[in-house]
């Protein structure tokens, strides 16, 4: 690499680049002024409002954040130079001044290598400090460049990348557009039609890649995705609060970001299942049970029906009624949701079939009933009474309550699918009403499943699912229903699986998500965690995910890890946290969920106020006490793990939880342990 870091005012390259920066800033201001000057004279109120919204949107996307420079890189090719930034910037004549990072011309910036320069002779990265261009770093590519001048492979990481990673954290997650690495870029720019599953070790950039892929797809397929939408699903609110600013900073504000709990929040969750009950309710066999409970309640017609039509009554014989019902039932049980006749539509269709039968009879007798008369016949009390008896309308929450509360109903639906002991596990006394039922999170997913059988669920054009290794089979189905014909980005790490389902490979999850043929792409270069810390955490891998490749860190720091046995937590904890809090960046004190009050008390007593991270609370402060169960997906400049043995002991997959916790630190990890460490971490 011919790195030319410099802050010397006299450097002609810096001077020229600063002039381009100033030009880009002026052009951006000009674009903003032009956007706000668009007049919408001569259009009606509705159009004016729409134009106003579009203009506000455009202004928002053009808003200059003084901390965000208009470009961060540059490519020099055959006589062509492009500056690459977060969005296009043009001059008054329409000439490009900055190219959007997602445009095809920007691709070589991310992909070019010494082996494959992609038409570039030079790649330049810029260093900024508070919006000021202070340095640059050149990599010379292409013919004649060897040795020192050759592009560093990702292993010899660029200084700009390392600085970007080590820049102290405060507040929400940042975008990585300036430094996306080639292996990440391949996933970001995968075609819209292609579903991808990223198996990525901790800190390899899965979440960042998934969010940048959403932004890339929205840019590249804006028209199509504006209609169908993009959905990002995260594990919990604390995680979403941390990541949800990334897409808006990339100019994408129209992405739905939610949790599985919110996605399936049709009933108020106010109770918790015992672990074995939650595990059973998340099992894919429950889908079969629910389907049977719904469709099995359809009765065989027992009698002819007299259908009133245009002043006369027509007898529809029971044999024909049976055929109608059987045909509709069959169409209702087609496995593909898009082909399936949903239950509610089936009921309406049945009523219509009776009315049409009567209409045919009248036509054969020389009459000519109108469409309106036929529709009226379908709504007649006689037809409605028949449908109520044979094909009753169902309410999803009511059906689930009945199933869980009535052993006879459950036995009918679960025969041959769930054993007696499993049925007994599911049973709970029937509450007085749907409104007062002690709904659990797993129940909510069951209710959502039934709702999906009753009516088609609206689907998105692309869905990004993060921490997907923890999804239950039933949760996978809930996400799949939101996918319709679209594609998926599945992000996760099997070694970080902490739910009762914890698959050994991705096949069941991908099948559950409705995309069994999705290719699994590994990411193993760890950007977040220093090598010393990663090596330490990786010692757990043989126990939690045998066979999974360990991540390698892009950087090392001999002072990054400290493991200290302590007799008592109070003194050492206060001392370590005070020391870390004196530096820049965020500090996370992670402990077993049950130990959170004790740890918060110890810190407060030492005059070190720390906010306690809660799923539905505000974002964490600079020093946060973090329950281990909420640590997934988060990161802190410094992490203190208090009593790892308690974290391991707290749950069946406690070692995996500890692996998650040990891999949250960007710069420093301090482990304070009163009890013995897990055997794999000893020595």
Ligand X SMILES: Nc1ncnc2c1ncn2[C@@H]1O[C@H](COP(=O)(O)OP(=O)(O)OP(=O)(O)O)[C@@H](O)[C@H]1O
Binding residues: 200-207
Work out whether 183 is an interface residue with ligand X (CB under 6 A): no
In the complex with ligand X, which residue's Cβ is closer, 346 or 503? 503
Contact 621, 241 (CB under 8 A): no
Instruction: Tell me the closest approach of the beta carbon of residue 435 to ligand X, in angstroms.
Output: 38
Site for ligand X in 625-654 (CB under 6 A): 633, 635
Binding window for ligand X (CB under 6 A); candidates: 111-119, 206-214, 436-444, 673-681 = 206-214
Work out whether 527 is an interface residue with ligand X (CB under 6 A): yes
Work out whether 101 is an interface residue with ligand X (CB under 6 A): no
Binding window for ligand X (CB under 6 A); candidates: 82-90, 203-211, 439-447, 600-608 = 203-211
Please pick, from the candidates 181, 475, 586, 656, the single residue that binds ligand X as defined by CB under 6 A: 181
In the complex with ligand X, which residue's Cβ is closer, 199 or 362? 199
137: helix, coil or strand?
Answer: strand
* Beta pairing class for 611-612 and 587-591: unpaired
Per-residue DSSP letter, 674: S
For residue 588, give both structure tokens: 């996370």
In the complex with ligand X, which residue's Cβ is closer, 389 or 619? 619
Please pick, from the candidates 84, 98, 133, 180, the single residue that binds ligand X as defined by CB under 6 A: 180
In the complex with ligand X, which residue's Cβ is closer, 635 or 651? 635
Please pick, from the candidates 108, 205, 531, 644, the single residue that binds ligand X as defined by CB under 6 A: 205
Binding annotation for ATP:
200-207
Contact 625, 466 (CB under 8 A): no
Work out whether 206 is an interface residue with ligand X (CB under 6 A): yes
- The CA–CA distances, whole Å, from 242 to 62, 120, 239, 479 equal 24, 36, 5, 21
Binding window for ligand X (CB under 6 A); candidates: 178-186, 316-324, 335-343, 402-410 = 178-186
Q: Which residue has the CB atom at the shortest distance from ligand X?
A: 205
How far is CA 235 from its chain centroid?
A: 8
79: helix, coil or strand?
Answer: coil
In the complex with ligand X, which residue's Cβ is closer, 176 or 587? 176
Instruction: Tell me the closest approach of the beta carbon of residue 577 to ligand X, in angstroms.
Output: 22
Q: How many residues bind ligand X (CB under 6 A)?
A: 23
Report how far residue 283's alpha carbon sits from residue 452's, in angstroms, rounded to the nearest whole number: 17
Instruction: Tell me the closest approach of the beta carbon of residue 64 to ligand X, in angstroms.
Output: 23
Report DSSP letters for 457-503, one per residue.
PP--SEEEESSGGG--HHHHHHHHHTTTT-EEEEEE-GGG--SS---
Please pick, from the candidates 75, 113, 179, 423, the single residue that binds ligand X as defined by CB under 6 A: 179
Question: In the chain, what is the straight-line distance between the N-terminal and C-terminal CA atoms, in Å?
Answer: 39
Binding window for ligand X (CB under 6 A); candidates: 1-9, 179-187, 230-238, 354-362 = 179-187
Work out whether 164 is an interface residue with ligand X (CB under 6 A): yes
Instruction: Tell me the closest approach of the beta carbon of residue 352 to ligand X, in angstroms.
Output: 50
Binding window for ligand X (CB under 6 A); candidates: 199-207, 212-220, 648-656, 668-676 = 199-207
Tell me which residue of 631, 641, 637, 544 sits closest to 599, measured CA to CA. 641
In the complex with ligand X, which residue's Cβ is closer, 180 or 453? 180
92: helix, coil or strand?
Answer: coil
Instruction: Tell me the closest approach of the beta carbon of residue 632 to ligand X, in angstroms.
Output: 7
Please pick, from the candidates 28, 62, 133, 161, the single residue that binds ligand X as defined by CB under 6 A: 161
Binding window for ligand X (CB under 6 A); candidates: 137-145, 173-181, 449-457, 593-601 = 173-181
Binding window for ligand X (CB under 6 A); candidates: 8-16, 39-47, 177-185, 453-461 = 177-185
In the complex with ligand X, which residue's Cβ is closer, 15 or 156? 156
Instruction: Tell me the closest approach of the beta carbon of residue 35 to ligand X, in angstroms.
Output: 30
Q: Can you point out the beta strands (E) in 349-477?
A: 462-465
Report how far residue 239's alpha carbon sits from residue 244's, in angstroms, rounded to the nearest whole number: 8
> Given phi > 0 = left and psi -120 to 50 = alpha, else beta, which region is 179?
alpha
Contact 283, 423 (CB under 8 A): no
Instruction: Tell me the closest approach of the beta carbon of residue 87 to ligand X, in angstroms.
Output: 19
In the complex with ligand X, which residue's Cβ is closer, 243 or 294? 243
- Residue 679: other Cβ atoms inside 10 A: 9
In the complex with ligand X, which residue's Cβ is closer, 337 or 635? 635
Instruction: Tell me the closest approach of the beta carbon of residue 543 to ligand X, in angstroms.
Output: 18
Site for ligand X in 466-505 (CB under 6 A): 493
Per-residue DSSP letter, 677: P
Tell me which residue of 682, 638, 634, 629 sits closest to 656, measured CA to CA. 629
* Contacts (Cβ under 8 Å, ≥6 apart) of 620: 238, 586, 588, 611, 613, 626, 634
For residue 623, give both structure tokens: 């020093």
- The CA–CA distances, whole Å, from 213 to 465, 492, 504, 514 equal 12, 15, 26, 20
Work out whether 585 is an interface residue with ligand X (CB under 6 A): no
Contact 397, 360 (CB under 8 A): no
Please pick, from the candidates 135, 207, 236, 257, the single residue that binds ligand X as defined by CB under 6 A: 207
Work out whether 656 is an interface residue with ligand X (CB under 6 A): no
Work out whether 200 is an interface residue with ligand X (CB under 6 A): yes
Report how far residue 169's alpha carbon sits from residue 622's, in angstroms, rounded to the nearest whole number: 9
Work out whether 678 is an interface residue with ligand X (CB under 6 A): no
Instruction: Tell me the closest approach of the beta carbon of residue 324 to ligand X, in angstroms.
Output: 52
Please pick, from the candidates 349, 528, 653, 657, the single residue that binds ligand X as defined by CB under 6 A: 528
In the complex with ligand X, which residue's Cβ is closer, 374 or 668? 668
Locate tokens 């998650």: which residue?
A: 660
Please pick, from the candidates 14, 98, 208, 413, the single residue that binds ligand X as defined by CB under 6 A: 208
Binding window for ligand X (CB under 6 A); candidates: 74-82, 176-184, 453-461, 619-627 = 176-184
Q: What is the 3-state secondary structure (H, E, C) of 300-354?
A: CCCCCEEEEECCEEEEECHHHHHHHHHHHHHHHCCCCCCCCCCHHHHHHHHHHHH
Report how far residue 404's alpha carbon sits from residue 277's, in angstroms, rounded to the nearest whole number: 12
Instruction: Tell me the closest approach of the beta carbon of residue 536 to ligand X, in angstroms.
Output: 15
Report how far residue 658's alpha carbon sits from residue 639's, in angstroms, rounded to the nearest whole number: 13
Report how far residue 497's alpha carbon sits from residue 652's, in angstroms, rounded to the nearest whole number: 11
Please pick, from the candidates 14, 21, 99, 176, the single residue that binds ligand X as defined by CB under 6 A: 176
Report how far residue 446's alpha carbon sits from residue 351's, in angstroms, rounded to the nearest whole number: 28
Please pick, from the candidates 75, 113, 204, 440, the single residue that binds ligand X as defined by CB under 6 A: 204
Q: Which residues of the shown chain bind ligand X in the complex (CB under 6 A)?
A: 161, 164-165, 174, 176, 179-181, 184, 200, 202-208, 493, 527-528, 633, 635, 663
């Amino acid at each position: 690499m011919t790195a030319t870091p410099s802050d010397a005012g006299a450097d002609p390259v810096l001077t020229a680049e600063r002039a381009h920066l100033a030009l880009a800033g002026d052009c951006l201001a000009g674009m903003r002024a032009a956007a706000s000057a668009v007049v919408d004279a001569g259009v009606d109120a509705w159009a004016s409002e729409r134009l106003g919204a579009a203009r506000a949107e455009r202004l928002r996307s053009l808003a200059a954040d003084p901390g965000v420079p208009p470009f961060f890189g540059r490519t020099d090719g055959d006589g062509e130079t492009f500056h690459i930034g977060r969005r296009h910037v043009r001059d008054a004549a329409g000439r490009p001044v900055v190219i959007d990072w997602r445009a095809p011309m920007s691709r070589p910036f991310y992909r070019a290598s010494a082996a494959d320069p992609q038409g570039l002779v030079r790649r330049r990265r810029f260093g900024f400090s508070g919006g000021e261009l202070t340095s640059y770093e050149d990599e010379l590519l292409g013919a004649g460049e060897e040795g020192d001048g050759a592009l560093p492979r990702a292993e010899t990481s660029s200084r700009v990348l390392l600085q970007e990673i080590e820049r102290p954290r405060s507040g929400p997650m940042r975008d990585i557009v300036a430094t996306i690495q080639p292996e990440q870029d391949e996933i970001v720019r995968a075609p819209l039609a292609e579903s991808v599953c990223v198996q990525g070790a901790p800190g390899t950039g899965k979440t960042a890649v998934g969010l940048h892929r959403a932004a890339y797809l929205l840019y590249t397929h804006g028209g199509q995705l504006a209609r169908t939408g993009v959905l990002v699903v995260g594990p919990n609110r604390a995680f979403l609060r941390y990541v949800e600013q990334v897409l808006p900073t990339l100019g994408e504000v129209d992405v739905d970001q939610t949790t599985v709990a919110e996605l399936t929040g049709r009933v108020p969750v106010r109770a918790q299942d015992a672990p074995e009950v939650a595990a059973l309710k998340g099992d894919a066999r429950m889908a079969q049970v629910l389907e049977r409970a719904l469709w099995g309640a359809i009765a065989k017609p027992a009698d002819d029906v007299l259908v009133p039509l245009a002043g006369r009554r027509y007898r529809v014989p029971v044999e024909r009624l049976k055929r109608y019902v059987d045909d509709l039932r069959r169409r209702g049980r087609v496995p593909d949701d898009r082909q399936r006749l949903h239950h509610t539509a089936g009921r309406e269709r049945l009523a219509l079939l009776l009315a049409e039968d009567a209409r045919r009879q009248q036509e054969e007798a020389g009459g000519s009933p109108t469409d309106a008369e036929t529709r009226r016949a379908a709504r007649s009390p006689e037809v409605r009474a028949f449908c109520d008896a044979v094909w009753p309308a169902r309410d999803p929450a009511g059906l689930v309550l009945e199933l869980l509360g009535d052993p006879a109903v459950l036995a009918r639906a679960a025969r041959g699918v769930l054993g007696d002991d499993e049925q007994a596990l599911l049973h709970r006394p029937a509450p007085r009403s749907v409104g007062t039922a002690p709904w659990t999170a797993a129940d909510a997913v069951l209710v959502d499943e039934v709702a999906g059988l009753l009516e088609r669920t609206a689907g998105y054009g692309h869905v990004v699912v993060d921490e997907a290794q923890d999804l239950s089979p039933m949760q996978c189905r809930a996400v799949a229903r939101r996918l319709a014909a679209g594609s998926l980005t599945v992000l996760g790490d099997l070694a970080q699986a902490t739910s009762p389902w914890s698959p050994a490979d991705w096949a069941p999850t991908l099948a559950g998500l409705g995309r069994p043929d999705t290719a699994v792409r590994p990411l193993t270069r760890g950007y977040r965690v220093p090598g010393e810390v990663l090596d330490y955490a990786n010692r757990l891998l043989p126990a939690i995910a045998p066979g999974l490749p360990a991540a390698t860190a892009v950087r090392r720091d001999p002072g990054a890890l400290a493991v200290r046995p302590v007799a008592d937590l109070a003194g050492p904890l206060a001392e370590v946290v005070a020391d870390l809090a004196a530096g820049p960046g965020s500090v996370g004190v992670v402990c077993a969920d049950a130990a959170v009050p004790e740890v918060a008390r110890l810190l407060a007593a030492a005059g070190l106020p720390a906010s306690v991270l809660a799923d539905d609370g505000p974002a964490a402060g600079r020093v946060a006490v973090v329950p281990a169960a909420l640590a997934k997906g988060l990161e802190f400049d410094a992490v203190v793990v208090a009593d790892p043995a308690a974290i391991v002991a707290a749950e069946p997959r406690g070692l995996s939880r500890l692996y998650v916790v040990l891999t949250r630190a960007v710069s420093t990890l301090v482990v304070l342990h009163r009890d013995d460490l897990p055997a794999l971490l000893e020595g």
